[in-house]
Chain A
Amino acid sequence: MNPSNPPQAAEYGGDEVSAIVLDPGYSTTRAGFAGEDAPKSLIPTYYGKYNADGQEKLVFGDDIFVTPRPAMSIHNPIGKDGIVEDWDMAEKVWEYSFTSRLTGTKPGNPFLNGLNDIPAEELPTEMEVELEEKSLADSPLLMTEPAWNPAKAREKTIEIAMEKWGTPAFYLARNGVLASFASGKASALVIDIGASNISITPVHDGMILKRGVQHSPLGGDYISSQIRALFKKNSPQPITITPHYLISSKTAVEAGQPPQAKYRTYPADKAPDASYRALLEERTLSEFKECVVQVWPGPNKLSATGPTGASNEEMARSTPGRPFEFPDGYNQVFGVDRFRVVESLFDVKAAIPDPDSPVPAPTQAQTIPELIKASLGGVDVDIRPHLLANVVVTGGSSLLYGFTDRLNHELMQLFPGPRVRISAPGNTAERRFGSWIGGSILASLGTFHQMWISKKEYDEHGANIVEKRCK
């Protein structure tokens, strides 16, 4: 095919209108142009707040990890259940996500930017109009939302997009639907393992089935709390996580030996807030999850006995351990414990108890198999086999080693009759950005452009139109 010829429009049905896809999550916010295969802009949803010269300053993006500013505190505009709580800050974080990499900041009024000397009487009044230039004035915006987003939050979202950002067209799509689009399915059972939540969304013909939507807080942050509980109970001595910014130098030590590191200390007036340390500890824990933590691949629970008669725990113990070195140089090989920290996602009895943890202990109904059962119970029986044959796994925490194997075994155990088929992209980016990619596909389809809520429609019908259009 000659690359200089445009493909016939019917060949792939794409028609790009330079739309921006914004996929806000609890941990990260993804933004990029529709039609691309990965979000160009990936920023943490957390933001930093500190005081400098008596003024409150905000830090967005990856910058929050870099400098431990005095008394800098870390916040998240999104609540634990994935619904926005602080709308002002959510707007700022989201705006940063596309202005920083995608649209760029608009040049201000040349008369007002302080570089030009203009006599006061020459200040043209019609420039006021240009002042109103909005950050998204020429890009339609597709945003995602969790399936359980309340109507009020949806209306607030379109209000921000239309009035604050001035987008010409807007659409709000459920991230479950988009994740199923990303794997090329119009109907699927989407299992999204995120940072703060895991959710099960049955999707039929590109629409969610509300009665089947289930979610529970056993996401990546819960796993982190389990890891902390494990570290507290560690046998020679409890492991403390010291983030990198507190280490000035370290020397290598043998496994299990106390760390020998020089610590950096901050005087009380210069030290950042405790939430800053928590955020950076979380980064270390993410690394730990990526390198060490493993899901017992099944069949059966970790506490059950395997087919050979030996208990699964014995089997897990016999696999070689995985070493991990903490920022302060302390290192240890993690054996069967690395299976235990995630076992409670499937088997609530295996949860490591930690009374001091702010995360409440999980209940049986919050585990993944129970959620799936409840979700399928909420949809029509005729489509259940079809959903089970199209299970889509997405979300960053689903990248835990062995997760899909275990999920497959659990599903086969729950539903021995119908065929169970899991589709989980092997590519890390596709798994992490599943819903963004689906949005990217959707917003670049020629047939989708009739779905946008235009500014005119918004003005006519008000924010309530989002309920009617984005079903």
Chain B
Amino acid sequence: MAAAADVRDMLDLPAEGQPRPAKKAKVVEKRPEGITRELYALLGERAPPIAINENKYKGRPKFMNKLRVRKWCMTPFANNARSDGLVLNHWQREHESTRPPAPEPNQMELDETKEGGKDEAPKPKEQEYAFAKYNIKARVPRRYTDEEYNRHLKSDDWSREETDYLMNLATEYDLRWVIIADRYDYQRHLDSEPDANAIVPAKQYRTMEQMKSRYYYIAATMLAIEHPPSEMSEAEFALHEQMLKYDPDRERDRKELAALQLNRTADEVREEAMLLEELKRITSNEQNFITERRELYSRLEVPISVGNTAMYQSSQGLSQLLQTLLQADKSKKRRSILGPEGAIPSPVGQTPTQATALGRAETPGTTAATKDTKKGPAVPPTQPAVRTLTPAEEARYGVQHHERLQGGVQFRSDRAQKLTQAKSNVQTQKLASALAELEIPLRLFMPTERVCKNFEKLIQSVNLLLDARKVAEKVESEIRVLEAARAERERKNAPEGSNKDPEHPEVKTEADDGGNSMLGSTAADATESGVSAAGETGQAKGDEAVSTQTPVKEDGNHKRSASVLSSVSDKSSKRQRR
């Protein structure tokens, strides 16, 4: 038969030029399972889109037919975990021995056979029961002997019988304290006593903490008896310590708290959720704030270039600049500097100023937004329309007018703090004690504007008072000295005529001198007015201040004296203003 190539040759057709009409590849669709060949042929090529599969029992794979059937048989078995040798039946492969025993007997199992499976007469199989190894018990301390109990474990609260009962329960329930506490019922065992009905013992209710405390004490003691603490291994010692340190009261408190936590009302739960949410918001805000600030700082720290710009005048220079900038950009990830608009800061010196300007423009805005949220966002400094505020509004919004502003940030509380620092240490201490007497903390809790102002006033008047007192003391001592001198003189020259008159002006000058030397001019004024102008009032007031202050120093905080002092100080401050 001529091959296709030959025919082509004969007909002068180009060899394989035309792609042969694709031979209709016979699509051999796989006959789905469950359809007979005949039926499938009838269906034609395009089978209807329905599944004609029927589920058929597959049976065993063919190769398995050759295998020998392995028999199962009902075999009796005994469980080593049991002590009574109960024989039950279960299905097992007949020749189990040909297979290697799946669960290898381990140490534990051997232990159990020693204690459990001794007396079992019909041992059906030499093999261990596979599940016996799961029969494990919690490790409880060795039971104490009578002597040990009497020597170490005696307790007023726990009788020997009850302790035994507790230890039995602990063993029985494998130290599941929840269940032990639930089943603990010791009183019932007392009923066996003949007079139990006559004298009904008060139902003693043991809490789980009491039981645990007693048990841990016993366990720790037994551990210590077995190995003295000096010989304990590390783990044992840790356990011993842990058991000794069990504190039932604390545990009880913890449980009370847990109960409170569990029995919260819906409102409390909601509130807690809200607070948590708030906290999350605040922390995230803080984080934002920190990153913003860092961004700002990095903006501010862009080095200001003062190099000449001549080299960038040419296009070549510019492109070089661009290159270096790009390079720098790549090497340093200064994304923070690149604003969202992607402006590349040029080191020509123009952008830095812009940046700083921007930064400055931002600073009050951000601080105002973050710090003074409570004071009201009504005073954004960039507000274009200047609105004149009434004094009430000013007070409300906290607007203030300053004559002169110092640069930088300062805290109001710092300013208040500064007031309490006098020039001399002694004075500072006196100030502090006066404030302590007034129950005003040195550091103000809430240094608002108004509080600060009043504090300032208060400090001033306290200062004034202190000065007045000093002067008064001085005057008094002076009087005393002079009086003594006079007495001396009088005694000396009794027959001499008394020259009292010139004394008074002397005292006065002394007082004036003292005032001038120690105090500022205002204080001197005050004493002046106190001593001379107001006559006896000043003196009286000074005395009063002294007399009130001295007893107060003795007995701590006395409300009344404090109020007296403050009223005095008010008066004096008023006078000072005058």
User: Contact residues of A with B, CB < 8 Å?
Assistant: 4, 6, 8-10, 13, 15-18, 138, 140, 168-169, 204-205, 207, 209-212, 379-385, 413, 415-418, 445-447, 449-450, 452, 454, 456-457, 460, 471
Contact = CB atoms under 8 A, between A and B. Distances in A.
Interface of B: 60, 64, 79, 81-82, 84-86, 88-91, 93, 102-103, 129-132, 134-135, 172-173, 176-179, 181-183, 208, 255, 258-259, 261-266, 268-270
Contact of A384 (B60, B86, B262): B262
Contacts of A138: 89
B84 A457 contact: yes
B59 to A, nearest CB: 11
A446 B263 CA distance: 41
Contact of A452 (B86, B172, B259): B86
A415 B102 CA distance: 49
Contacts of B270: 416
A450 B88 contact: no
Contact of A450 (B81, B102, B173, B255): B81
Contacts of B93: 6
Nearest to A454: B86
9 contacts: A6-B93, A13-B131, A211-B182, A380-B182, A383-B178, A416-B264, A450-B131, A457-B86, A471-B173
Contacts of A454: 82, 84, 86
Given A210-B183, A380-B208, A417 B131 contact: no
A162 B261 CA distance: 50
Contacts, number: 113
B183 A447 contact: no
B179 A209 contact: yes
Contacts of A13: 131
Contacts of B259: 381
Contact of A418 (B86, B103, B179, B262): B262
A417 B81 contact: no
Contact of A416 (B79, B178, B269): B269
A38 B91 CA distance: 21
Of A10, A18, A209, A381, the most chain B CB neighbours within 10 A belong to: A381
A385 B172 CA distance: 26
Nearest to A378: B182
* 5 closest residue pairs by CB, A with B: A446-B131, A450-B81, A454-B86, A416-B266, A17-B88
B79 A450 contact: yes
A415 B262 contact: yes
A381 B258 contact: yes
B182 A379 contact: yes
B182 A169 contact: no
B262 A381 contact: yes
A209 B182 contact: yes
Nearest to A456: B84
B236 to A, nearest CB: 27
Contacts of A4: 60, 64
A447 B80 CA distance: 11
Nearest to B69: A4
A432 B177 CA distance: 33
Given A6-B93, A10-B103, A416-B265, A382 B178 contact: yes
Given A4-B64, A18-B89, A450 B178 contact: no
Nearest to A208: B182
Contact of B263 (A15, A417, A445, A450): A417
Of B88, B176, B269, the most chain A CB neighbours within 10 A belong to: B88
Nearest to A444: B90
A9 B131 contact: yes
A9 B179 contact: no
B278 to A, nearest CB: 19
Contacts of B208: 380
A13 B133 CA distance: 12
Contacts of A450: 79, 81-82, 131-132, 135
Nearest to A205: B176
B79 A449 contact: yes
A417 B264 contact: yes
B102 A382 contact: no
Contacts of A205: 176, 178-179
A164 to B, nearest CB: 20
Contacts of B135: 447, 450
